[in-house]
Amino acid sequence: MSLLEVRDLTMQFGGLTAVDRFNLTLNEGDIVGLIGPNGAGKTTVFNCLTGMYAPTSGEILLSGKRVDGLHPYEITRMGMARTFQNIRLFKQLTVYDNIRISFHNQSKYNLAAAVFRLPRFAKEEREILEKTEELLEIFGLYEHRNEIASSLPYGEQRQLEIARALATNPQILLLDEPAAGMNPQETEALTNLIRWVKERFDLTIFLIEHDMRLVMRLCERLVVLDYGVTIAEGTPEEIQNNPKVIEAYLGEEAI
């Protein structure tokens, strides 16, 4: 059974079909890229997958269970986490709290345990603390733990967002333009980071990206969207030479 199965996903806004019969299969350990010109509907696909939008029609199966129409928090708890195109950290909170919040669904104690400070509370809070510090060290953010998230340099905010998504303990990680606004060195570092994180956390990764060097180096398989329609699918080499893709990006060749 594949980890994620998307069948004929369609999303309409009024008369506009943003995504038209999108299909995708992710197997464990896959790293797949979703590319396409601006406005092709890539982020809409992400929003449908993560429950931000309820798709107009189609099915989304996560580990064989239907998840379309569920709330985002339910889908996150079932093992699919995401980052956002325009970084959505808890800006006014510390780096430390950004991560700690994301361990919320792994804490099992109830309100009473918190109010009366039961042993369960202390135990789980300590675990959260340790896991948070571990993540912060892995991502090299430990030194910045007491800083306000919005005060971090851009690249580190991106890293923090990935770290925060990992704190929810996902099987699938969706990255929405992780390299946006990064210079070539930062993109290079990010490429390595994603690859490393994938191995370290046994992840399956589905990412949207405009940076072709990152996509070509990282992804085993690519899906190309244009005006909501999947126009090509295949290995990076196949995609690079696909006339339809070239047309979508560069326009039709003048004859």
Partner 1 sequence: MKKERMFTFSGSSLRQKLSWLAAGLVGLILLAVNIGVYRGTVDFYFSGVLVVALINVILAVSLNLINGFTGQFSLGHAGFMAVGAYVSSLLTIYLDWPFPVVLLIAALVSALLGFVIGLPTLRLKGDYLAIATLGFGEIVRVVLLNLDITGGPRGLGGIFPKTTFFSAELVALLTIIVIGNIIRSSHGRAFVAVREDEIAAEAMGIDTTLYKVLAFSIGAAFAGVAGGLFAHHQMFIDPRSFTFQRSIEILVMVVLGGLGSITGSIIAAVVLTILPEALRGMAEYRMIVYALLLIGLMLVRPQGLFGTKEIGDFLGIERVRWAKAKSQQPAAGVLKSHGGDGR
In angstroms and rounded to an integer, the radius of gyration of the C-alpha atoms of the chain is 19
In the bound state with partner 1, the residue whose beta carbon lies nearer, of 166 and 248, is: 166
255 binds partner 1 (CB under 8 A): no
By CB under 8 A, name the one of 169, 229, 242, 246 that touches partner 1. 169
Per-residue exposure over 170-187, b if at least 16 CB sit within 10 Å of its own CB, e if not:
bbbbbbbbbbbebeeebb
φ/ψ bin of 86: left (φ > 0), alpha (ψ from -120 to 50), beta (otherwise): beta
Closest CA to 2 of 17, 23, 16, 22: 23
Task: Output the smallest distance, CB 226 to partner 1, in A.
Answer: 27
Tokens of 217: 């180096």
In the bound state with partner 1, the residue whose beta carbon lies nearer, of 98 and 187, is: 98
Tokens of 22: 């999108």
In the bound state with partner 1, the residue whose beta carbon lies nearer, of 20 and 147, is: 147
In the bound state with partner 1, the residue whose beta carbon lies nearer, of 117 and 244, is: 117
User: Looking only at residues 78 through 97 of this chain, which bind partner 1 when binding is defined by CB under 8 A?
Assistant: 81-82, 84, 88-93, 97
Q: Please state, in angstroms and rounded to a whole number, the distance separating the CA atoms of residues 233 and 222.
A: 6
Sheet containing strand 80-82, strands side by side: 80-82, 172-176, 204-208, 31-35, 221-226, 229-234
123 binds partner 1 (CB under 8 A): no
**Window 22-61: contact mask with partner 1 (x via CB under 8 A):** ----------------------------xxx---------
By CB under 8 A, name the one of 38, 146, 252, 255 that touches partner 1. 146
102 binds partner 1 (CB under 8 A): yes
- Other beta carbons within 10 Å of 44: 21
Q: What stretch of H or E contains 6?
A: strand 4-13
129 binds partner 1 (CB under 8 A): yes
Q: Please state, in angstroms and rounded to a whole number, the distance separating the CA atoms of residues 86 and 106.
A: 26
Where along the sequence are the contacts to partner 1 (CB under 8 A)? 50-52, 71-73, 76-77, 81-82, 84, 88-93, 97, 100-105, 107, 109, 111, 114-117, 121, 124-126, 128-130, 133-134, 137-138, 140, 143, 146, 164-165, 167-169, 196, 200-202
